[in-house]
Amino acid sequence: MTKQATALNKREQAFKSSTKARTARVFSISLKGIPQLDTSAKARLEAAARDPAGKRRDYPQLTIE
């Protein structure tokens, strides 16, 4: 009886200490300092996407039914 109660207490304490140690965090994600894509830059990217001689080997791929 005493042994079992002690084991349970230890497990409970371990659970309490592990949950106590874990604190929710907040990660800030900001676009500060990253330039906006303007119309001329977008036109360049659209042209690059159409370049059959582009050096890029892979593009987003998805298999669907």
Partner 1 sequence: MPLTPTAFYADHLAQLHRLLLEHRIAKAHLSGTGIRLDGNDLGLDDRFDLPFGELSTLEFAHLFCVFDGSRVHQQAEKFPSRDDAPPGLYFTVINSKIIRNQHKNRTGLISEAVGETDLFIEALHVDHFFLNEQNTPRSLGTIAFTLCSITAHLAGLAHISLVAAGGVGFNPRHVGYKVWPRLGFDAALLPGETHGVLHLEACQTVQDVIAIDGAWWDAHGSQRLMAFDLAVASRSWQKLIPYVREKVLAESTL
Site for partner 1 in 2-31 (CB under 8 A): 22, 24-31
Tokens standing for 19? 């949950």
Instruction: Tell me: does residue 62 bind partner 1 (CB under 8 A).
Output: yes
CA 18 to chain centre: 24
CA distances from 26 to 6, 29, 31, 64 (A): 37, 10, 16, 36
Count of chain residues binding partner 1 (CB under 8 A): 36
Residues that bind partner 1 (CB under 8 A): 22, 24-31, 33-39, 41-42, 44-46, 48-50, 52, 54-56, 58-65
